[in-house]
Structure 1
Amino acid sequence: MLKKITIISIIIYSSLFFYVYALDKEDDEFYKAVEVFSKGLYKDSTAMFSNFIDAYPDSRKLYMAKLYLAKSLYFRGDYSKAISLIDKVITDEKARNVYDEAYYWLAKTYYILGNYNSAFEYASVVAKNYPDSYFLWNVKYLISQIYIRENNAILAIATLKEIINNASDDEILDNAYLEIMELYYKEKDYKNLDLVAYGYLKNRPGGRFKDRAYFYRAESCYYKDSYDKAIKWYSKALDISVDNRLKDSIYQNRGMSFLSEGKLDKAKLDFSKIQSREYRLFSEGMYYFNMGDYPLSLNKLNNFLELFPDSKLYALAFLHKAELLYRMGRLRDALYLYKKIIDSTKESFNKKIVDDAYYGLGWCYIKSGDFNKAIKAFKNTIRSTDDIVIEISSQMQIADSYKETGDLDKSLAQYKKVLDEYPDNMYADYIYFQIGTIMLDKKKPDIARVNFLTIVDKFPSSHLLPEAIYYIGTSYMLEEKFDKAEIEFSRFIRNYPHHALVSRARYLYSKCLIASKDYQNALSYLNEVINSTDKELKELACIERIQLYYQLYYFNKARDEVRRFFRLFPESKMAAFVYLYMGKIFQAQSDYSKAEHFYQIVIDNYNSTDAAREARFSLGVLYFSNNDLDKARRYFSDLAKGGDALSREAQFYIAEIFVNENKEERALTIYKHIIKGNDQISKHALFRYASLLKDMKKYKEAEAALKELIKEDAGSSRVRFMLGFCLERLNKPKEAIEEYSKVVYNSNVAQDKVKAYFRMARIYERQNNIVKAKDMYHKIIAIGREESKVARKKLEELDAR
């Protein structure tokens, strides 16, 4: 029995020995293969892991070995076999403990193949299902790279920030920081670039990319025009960098900073330290470009283009050469180069270069006045560019070009599109300004003013602020709100006495003063304008002074001004209007023959002008005043065929002629036509229409017309008296009294009040309401006018009843 036990023990021991030996051998082969893999000998590691898998199909390390084999194939570029192998691993339940790593490498393989949808799909499996995985932050970093490749900077940055806030692996953290800095740099988001670079230097004092962080801090300052700070950070980057390409970039950009500060010797010294002849020659070309020495810059860039046709900077140098030619006024040469860039198949002429070429092409067309071709070029830029600044600028140029061609609606739509898509863009104040000027051109001063006020409120430092204030005043002028316009022009003159528009502001301010009857100050400002150097404004101011004297009935002074005007401006394009005023002056002085003479001068010598139409109208008025209705009708009939304000005034006078000829129905027909308008002459026509209906005893129709007149805010005492009279005739005493009462309460004229009280007293008498009738007469007596005698007599009559 003991012997049997001993034999069994020996067998068991022997089996255990061989099992342990087998395990040691298996592990030894596995780790040897791992060691070979870690040395980058992927061909050898492929063979070793393949042998291991064949030799140990039941090994606990089988799926790890399969993943190592897949990784070996990946690094050898055999992606299809790698994918096939990993696919088998993720579909095998026994491989569950390596699923996270398998999905990560599958995603990585699809990423390297450019299949970003599949890469994202498999990476998302790890991100969602394996939150504690060792590979989680590798996966998150891979997802950020997918977003970058898909040009989704927003999600890429959000993912990289998540890594920075949560990961602990030094390499992943450094890479995430660098990637987010490069993204902000590419997006030209210098504020966030500086914040991230600062955060990296603070949180990663031993990080691998400190030189780049300093460089990016410098770039942020450079593009904010803080050149002294930029130089400081460039210098720090230079002190620690061992990357020659980066150092060349630092020397180049620090040199440009020195250049911007006017430190020419330091700039030149930095450029001379650039090791690469290629980069040095390019930088020197750019140095002279920024110095404004275009011939020398052109010489340097030509040398560069000849010596380095395969340089990565070749396309950029070519682009700058085109811009140089544009700035030198050689538009044809610039156009040729821009077109050559656009048509080029060279790899270095990338999308960004082509976008800039389209942009430059557009500017060439604008400079040459070919706005339609400019619009086409800028549209091509928008379709292809990823640069938001270039896109916005191109949209702006399209809007400006439409405006130049007179297509205001398309221009307006384009400006609004920019504001809708980029409400806080750098051109916002300019856009509001352009929209405002378009609205002025479209005769919509209220909308124009909203845009100009936006500049005043939101952009107090805008260089367009003075112009905005000036055009706010102009918008009020167009609405004839002269009191408000006066305030704006006064502010402009006070705050910007040397501005190019100040003479125009003084001229318009004088018109506001005239409207407010401050004639003395108006003349003072007109004299300032007349003494200015702006010939056109001097003419206008002289004409305004003639008009002012005319309005003040200083007819002799007005005539003297006319004579002075023709001495100063013998070839004036405004001569027709001055002759017209000469006719009006003589007409006002009842010298009709001389008035007719000057009107005829305008008609004979300036027949197709607006002044000639006004002269015909004035002749019509002259003949109408002298009761020469046939001659008046002839002039008014010619003018009445149009649709403008003067035509409508002529139609009004034709109606007046019919009234004088007792042809009331024909007059009513014309008045009704004029009333359809929406201007002052339509209100005047409505009044005459109502008045004629009253005279024709058509009180019901007259009532309706008068109420419409009151509704349109033309309820003068005269209108209300007419309405009250019609209401009396229509046996509506209560309503008549209401209208007369409104005259009493609203009028400041004593005569109007007296008249209204008399009308109400008579109504009360007819109603036998003696108490109220007497009350009306007492109120007339209290006013103390001549009519109080009649009121006392009426009281005596009422007392005697």
Structure 2
Amino acid sequence: MHKIFISIITLLLGLPLFAQNLTEKFNDAMNAYNNQLYSEAYKIFDEVIKDYDVEDELYSVARFYAANSLLKMGKKDESTSGFEYIVNSIVWSKFREESLFKLGLIYYDLNRFALSRKNHLMLIYQYPNSEYLGSSMYWIGESYSAEGKLDDAIEFLTQAIEDKSANRYRDHSIYALASIYEKKHDYQNAVKYYDQLLTYHSNSSLALEAQVRIGVCYFYLKDYYNSILELNNPDIQKLPTENLSEALYLLANSHYRVEEYSDAANTYSEVIKRFPNSDIYRNSQYGLAWSLFQQSKYGEAYQVFNTLSEGYDSIAIKSFIWKGESKRYAGQTNEALAIFQNFLVKYPDDPSTTLVENLIGLIYFDQNKFEQSTQYLTNATSSEDPLTRAKAFTMIGEIELQNKNYIKARGNFDPAVRISSEESEVHLRALLGLGVSLFHLGDYNEAVENFRQAETIDPAFEQDKINFYMAESYYSLGKYQEALSRYNNIKSTEIEYVRQVTYSKGYCQFNLGNYSNAAYLFSEFIQNYPDDFRMTDAKLRLADSYFGSKNFAAASKIFKEVFKSGKFSSDDPYTYFQYAQALYKSGESNAAIDEFRNLQKKFPDSKYGESSLFTIGFIRFQEGEFEEAINDYRMVMQIYKKSSLTPAVYYSIGDAYFNLGEYDSAIVNYRNVLAKYPSSEYAYDAINGMQYSYVAAGRSNEAINLIDRYVSQNPNLKFSDQIYFKKGEIYYSQRDYENAKLSYQEFLVKYPKSSFVPEAYYWLGKSSQNLKQDDEAIFYFSKVFDNYPGSESAAVSVIELGKMYEAKGNYQAGIDVLERASSKLKDSPRLPEVLFLKGSAYIKVDDVQKAYATFEELAMYHPETVFADRGKIEMGLIDLAISRFNEADKNFLDVAGRRTDDLGAKAQYQYGVSLFEQGKYSEAVSALVRVRTVFSQYEPWISRSYLLMGDCYVKMNDKRQAEEMYRVVVTKHKGNELGEEARQKINKLK
């Protein structure tokens, strides 16, 4: 300010004498301005302005300080005219740059953000070396942020930070940029910039606030330990009350999330004590109650939940439930039951009623009152909360398991699995229950899959039960090694577990050929459980085990005689070989290898000698020990130079090198098969191996050349056509459709009688189709169908033709070919798809009668296929269109009752539509609720069901329920057609 004043005095000294009175007046104005007498200064500056011409330098000075005086007086709107005048009319003024900056600030304060940006941008572009450059970028960013244009704000704030000029708002720029990233939920970048502020501007007034925001961001990043570290800083006590209460609340939440419940309780208590009027007061009380609950302080938790339950907000309702849970966990089940019953009376229409019914069902379940339990749990299965529904289905499933109603059990566990999240315990319990149900129903593979899923999600969950049922399932599937492994993993000492596991392990060892182990286990079982009903069977299996382990004396005592026919003879190479094979197949690979080596040494001249060495290589290969396998295979050729296994050896060495990724070495060994044994049964496999090696090595052209050379040199081999056919496959797999066509055409010329001719025509059609040569594609597909109706390619060709005609809008041509196909392809497994396409084509030409007949034929003669169910839905839609409601309902219910996939959801929804059309609105609502409970993962049928339920409630004059249904759709489908339709329906209600 002093420098500006001196420069103005210098300017005044150069004025002529006749202007001295103006000079005195100007000096008076400046004195008043410097003494903060802005009203007086403005009046004098205004007089000076009137006495000077615009070309005078003092005129622009007076203009600037007059405007600034108004600004100092708080008259922002009035001051803008002065600054605007300088900017627009006195472009030579040295105050124009500062005027642009001040206008940007004033318009920002007046929320006129576009004008603010305009002036700051003019400053940036017209004064690129301005000292205000970085500051203007900051304020542009802030203005964009204020308008919610966050990406634009990020751009300018980033430039403001990177600007090398004197930006006095640099710390504010960094803080603003971090806060915008926080608004965008990009908490990683938010932390990055808040931390940058702390690093480079540690003395900033924003530093403490930045540290708190880092803690908040870590909380939302679920990095709770770092959140605690940041928010535990004692300096946060210096924050304003509102910010401090938020920081402490999030600190308490972070302690809770990392299971530091005592620290959480203390911090929640601090918030409650210090900020009784805060918006988060009740939330803090709720957090305190939960922290006490997690510490098993159920009495104290009850007291807090009870206090909260006396309110009228959502926390009160949740607390009402959890005060009951506090009693239940404290073992006071009758008091808990009374609280839950009271909740149902007080809040009969609250969505949480199903959760409470679930909890009541759980109490009755624990009291073995299964009938009462099922009653409440069944009500809970209609809850809109997936977790509550899943828990209810799971508990009902467990009741049905206890009653040995395995089909009903499966029917309840299955939806529980589908609607629960993987990380929840109920999902694990439902998987376990579903697996047990499937085991008892004899579906062992599916049972194993469910057990494995549960084990993958949480390896510590019900380990003994899962291992037991997996072992039993594997045993039933004949997978004895897997079963044995699972039995061995069971750690339980319960008598029934130990008894069953001992018996079952004996059988596993016996079936695996580990007879000594089997004998030990059956002996233990007989000794420990002499009264078991399986005693006789156990003794017989013990005898078999002794015999298998060559303990013939012990076996004879049980069987009363010695069985000699099955004894192991070490002098018989065949038996020795079989014994070694059995060791390998039972998983004892190392022992098998040892025995094969012993056999070869003992019987080197027998045919089993070379086979033993070859099998050692095979075992190494299967174990993934490819280099060792190669050495063992070569040993066969070294010892048996004229071995009949040589082609197999070369081929196997090639496979080993392929698996090692040494494709050139693989090719050399495959070529040995072709060069030395071109008629061998391994020749075709060797060609395949070379082809895959070339392709894997990125040398596809060499694979093509190989095929050409081999076929040319061996034209009469029985599989030459099969090899040549692979040229087209290679080109097609590389999407080189032109060369694929050429190769298949050459194939047809070269091998006109090959069994691959129909397939060649089909792939000619596919290649032409991909080249957009539709007429040629139709010709080739027709050729397959007309000339080779008995081939596997005929049906797929017809399907392609039907789809192509439909795409072209030539429905009649499609119908004609599909009509012929439905009679000529009676034995094809693809006939159901053909029939469905035909029915769909009839619908396209409005021949509803023939469409219906086609779908009816499909449903009658191919009921096990998915196309039959698709056909039934189409039949139902036709019935619905002509108001034949009984038939429509029958078709829809048949599909919806059997399927649990998207088709089932569609059928269930259409059944609801049918009931609605019949005016049965209450029944329609019930049908549509089943879409939500049974088919909860299949949108858009869920949302369509909500829309139609809303329509039902409108018809029943229940506008409140109708609006609730429509709002569910609006929430799920903001911005799309379904959401807009729901919104319009809501508007019509008003």
TM-score by length of 2: 0.40
TM-score by length of 1: 0.48
The structure with more radius of gyration? 1
